[in-house]
Structure 1
C-alpha cells in the first residue's frame, strides 16, 4: 500500500491544483447537493438565550462595540483588571455570529501570520513578538481552562505540506531552523497520505483547535458572570467625542455615553471614518464533510488529530471535528465589488465546486463522501496581513482590526492592547509597530476591485511559476503590501 502511494505521488502533475476541475462534475454535484448553507459550528450547538437590545440613553465606564472574539476578550479582561468598572458590550446581530462563529477553529500563537511576514513588517521586533505571542497563547489556554469553557480545545500539532516541488526546500529549511520535523515518504504517510503531497513539516507546539461557536458562547457567558452587560441587535450608527464629557455612541434607538470606547468591529465599517480604508472584506469559503469512519481515515493515513495546510499562497486548510468530520477551506479569497459585507455573499457555488474538486484530488479514497455544510464569511484583510491597533479622540477611543484570518488567538492580544491604550499604560504591547503605525491603505472603489483582482491573478501566477513573484508582487512587497488566501 505504501508503495502504491509513492507511485501516485510521482505521477502528481507539476501543479497540484488549478482553476479547471479534474473531478467528474457529477461527483462534485452529488457531494454538495445536501450541503446546508449555514456555518457548521453555529448549526451544531444551540445559541444562548438572546440578550435584549438597548434603547434610550445610558452611561457606562467602558463601551465595547462588537460581540465577536475581540469584543468578548476585551470585556472579560477589562473586568479582570478592574471588577468595579462598568462595562457594556453592544452587538449589531448576535454574539459570535460573524467571523467568530464561522472560521476554521485554528488557534495559532503567531501574531504576525508566520515568520516570513513578520520579518517583512516587524523585523526589529521579532523576538519580542515571539515572546508576547507565546504569553498570549498560554493566557488564552489558561483562561478557557480556568472558567471551564467547553471549547473542545486540542493541542495536537500542525502538518504543513508541500504540494509543489518549489515548496519542499522551504519546509526543509524550516525544520533545520528548529521549526518542526521534516517528513517525506513513509514518514509523511504516517500522518497523512495524498498523491499531491511531496513533503511535510510537523509542528507540535503553539497550535490548537477549538469549536469556534462554543468558544464564543462560552466567552459571552463568562463576561456576563463577571458583570458585563451584553446587548444584541443594537447597532452602533455613529460616534461623537466632544472635547469635554463622554464619548457618545448612537444607536437607532438611543445613545450610550462612555468614558472610554473600544471598537471591535473588525471587518465592518469603523465608527472612525479615517480607518475605513485600512481593511477590506475578503470572503473565505468552507466545506464540512459528513462524519468519517475509522476505515475512511485510515485509507488516507490521517488517523491523528493534527490539522493540515498546504504551502501555496492560495492555500487550503483542513482539520477534524470532534465527530471526525473534515473541515476543508481556503484557496479562494474573494473580494466582492463594493467593499460591503452582505449575507448573499456567504454562498458562492463556483468556490464550493472548486473546493470539492480539490478535496477529491487530495484524498481519492474518499470517493462518495458528502458535504453536510457549505458556507462563507468575510475576513478583515489588511495589507500587512496582521492586525493593527491604536487610539483616537485623545486616547478615549481604541481600535483593533485587520486580523486577516488570524483572529482566533490574536484577538485576545488586540483586546489587551486596546485596554492598555485606554488606560494610558506604556507597555511592550503599546510600543509595538503594529500599535503605533497603520498599514498601507487600500484604495476606495472603483479602484479597489480591479486592483485586488490584479493582485489575485499575480498570486495565482506565482504559485504556478515555482513561487517566483512577478513584477507587480515585488513592487507591492517593497511598499509593504501583501495578499494571501
Structure 2
C-alpha cells in the first residue's frame, strides 16, 4: 500500500492571496539579467566565409569553446554563429548557480557511473576552479561569488538525506542552526557546501565571455541562425555560408542539426521571479550574511539567491513540458506558475510581506534522459556536440567545451576516456509517448513530495532501468 498523501509546508502555510496579488502586480514579463547587462552588438554573417573552426551557438558552451580554441591556437580562424543575440536564451536567463557537479548531483552520478564517480567529482572541482581563475585572469565582469551553497530540508523526511550527504566539505546543520543563518520558518535542517558552488550574473558572464572572445580574435556573428549543415561542415544561414574545417555544435535546447540527436533532448520550461531591491530592514530580517545560493531538497524544488543589489531571485518548482517538444515564447508566460512561486516565496520568507516583484520570466531547459550533458562527434570527427545539461550547465559548459575540442582534435584525454563522455542517453520516444511519460514522471515526483519521499511503482521502475531522477 502506498503512503497517504500529505500536505507540504507550502500548502500548510500558504499566504493570503492578497499578498501574492500585491507582490505580482508591478511585475512584467522580462528577463532581469539581460536588461542589467547590455552587451556589444555583432554583425550578421554575409557572403561566403571560410574558417578553421565554426562554433554554432552563442551561449556558454559555444563561447567557452571559441575562447578556449583561440587560446589554444591563436593562429586559427574561429567563427561563432548565434541565431539571435549572445546569451539571450538559457545562458542569459538562468538562476546564476555555478555548480561543480558534472553529473547533476551525487545521487545521479553515483547511480549511473559508480566506478568513476570520484574522478567525475575531482574533474568537476577542477573545472570550477578553472572557471574562477579564467574570470580573474581576464578580468571578466561576471558577478562571480564563490560563496558555497545551502541545501535545505523543508520537510522532516528530507533531514536524513542531508545528514547522509554531510562530509569534509559539507556541514550538516540542524533546524535551529540553519534558521539562525537564514531566517526562514520552513527550514528543518541544512547542508552547507563550502567549495563546490558559486554564483554568477548569467548575462554578464555570457557577454563578458563574448568580449573576451572578440579580444582574442574570434569573429562573432549574431542574427545568423544556421539552417542546415551540408556536405562536410558547410553551414548555411539566411544571409551567408560558412565553410569550416571543424564544427562545434552548442545549440542547447534547440533542434540539433544532426538527425541522431533530434530525440536526445526535450525542452522543459522553468520559471523565475525577481524581487525589487530589499530595504535595509528587510535585508537584516533575513540574516543570510554569507549570500550563499539556496536550494531545497524536494523533487519539485525551489532555488533562490541574492543579487548584487540585494534583490531575491526565486525560481523552480514547476517544470513544464509542452506536447510536441517545441520552444515557443508563448510558453514563457504562465500566470498560475508565477502565482505559485510568489506564494511559496512568502511561505519561505513571511517577514517580507509587502515586497513586490519587478520581473518574471521563463526559459527552456535542454533535458535529456540521464539528466546531465552528453557528448559525441560526427562527420568523420569533423563535427562535435555537447548538449543535455538539464538545468545544471553553467559550469559544466566549460567542461563540455573542452570535451568537444578534444574530440575535434582527435586526442585522447582523461575527459574522453570517461564512460560518461563515451556513452549516450536513451532517446525520448516520439509523441504522444513522450508527453505521456514526461508528465507521468512529473506527477509521480509531486506525489513523492506529498508522501514523505516515497516513490511510486512508476518511479521505482524508472530507477531500475536507469532513468530515475533524484533532484
In 1: Cα distance, 2:343 partner to 2:37 partner: 29
Contact 1:14 1:165 in 2 (8 A): no
Residue number in structure 2 paired with 1:107: 98
Deviations 1:218-247 (A, max 9, x none): 0000000111000000010111234xxxx2
**Alignment of 1:336 onto 2:322:** yes
After TM superposition, list the pairs within 5 Å mapping 1:20-35 onto structure 2: 22-35=14-27
What is the alpha-carbon distance in structure 1 between the residues aligned to residue 413 and residue 197 of structure 2?
A: 26
Q: Shift of the alpha carbon at 1:121?
A: 1.1
Does 1:400 find its partner at 2:386?
yes
Matches of 1:123 and 1:262 in 2, distance apart? 29
Matched-pair contact (CA < 8 Å) for 1:297–1:303:
no
Alignment of 1:209-220 (within 5 A): 209-220=199-210
In structure 2, what is the equivalent of residue 155 of structure 1?
146
Q: Secondary structure at the match of 1:67?
A: coil
1:265 aligns with 2:278: no
Distance 2:71 2:459 in 1: 44
Shift of 1:193: 2.1
Correspondence list, 1:289-328, <5 A = 289-328=275-314
Task: Choose which of 9, 13, 16 in structure 2 pairs with 1:16.
Answer: 9
Matches for 1:77-116 after TM superposition, within 5 Å: 77-116=68-107
Tell whether the 8 Å contact from 2:108 to 2:469 is kept in structure 1 after alignment.
no
The offset of 1:21, in angstroms, is 8.9
For residue 437 of structure 2, what is the aligned residue in structure 1?
A: 451
Aligned counterpart, 1:10: none
Q: 1:162 to 1:21 in 2, by over 3 A?
A: closer
Tell whether the 8 Å contact from 2:179 to 2:187 is kept in structure 1 after alignment.
Answer: no
- Aligned with 2:359: secondary structure? strand
Deviates more, 1:24-33 or 1:100-109: 24-33
1:73 aligned to 2:59?
no
Consecutive unaligned residues of structure 1, counting only runs of 5 or more, are 1-12
Structure 1 runs, 4 residues or longer, greater than 4 Å off? none
User: Which residue is equivalent to 1:184?
Assistant: 174
1:195 counterpart = 2:185: yes
Once residues 296 and 304 of structure 1 are traced to their aligned partners in structure 2, the CA distance between those partners, rounded to angstroms, is: 16
Q: CA deviation at 1:195?
A: 2.0
Deviations 1:167-206 (A, max 9, x none): 101111222x335111124322221122211111111112
**2:113 aligned with 1:122:** yes
Distance in 2, matches of 1:152 and 1:306, equals: 13
> RMSD in angstroms over aligned alpha carbons?
1.5
Which residue is 1:3 aligned to?
Answer: none
- 1:266-290 deviations in Å (ceiling 9; x for gaps): 1000000110111100010000111
Alpha-carbon distance in 2 for matches of 1:354, 1:179 = 34
Kept in 2, the 8 Å contact 1:107–1:210? The answer is yes
1:359-400 CA-to-partner distances (Å, cap 9, x unmatched) read: 011111110100011000000011111000110111110000
Structure 2 counterpart of 1:146 = 137
SS of 1:385's equivalent in the other structure is coil
Partner of 1:360: 346
The structural deviation recorded for 1:484 is: 6.4
Shift of 1:156: 1.2
CA-to-aligned-CA distance 1:294-349 (integer Å, 9 cap, x gap): 32133233233111110111000000000111100001101112211111112111
Decide whether the 8 Å contact of 1:318 with 1:327 is kept in 2: yes
Counterpart-to-counterpart distance in 1, 2:48 and 2:470: 43
Q: Does 1:381 align with 2:367?
A: yes
Maintained 8 Å contact 2:275/2:358: yes
Aligned-pair distance for 1:483? Answer: 4.5
The normalised TM-score by structure 2 is 0.96
Q: How many residues align?
A: 466
CA contact 2:463–2:469 (8 Å) conserved in 1: no
Q: Equivalents in 1 of 2:177, 2:76: separation in Å?
A: 54
Q: Which residue of 2 aligns with 1:172?
A: 163
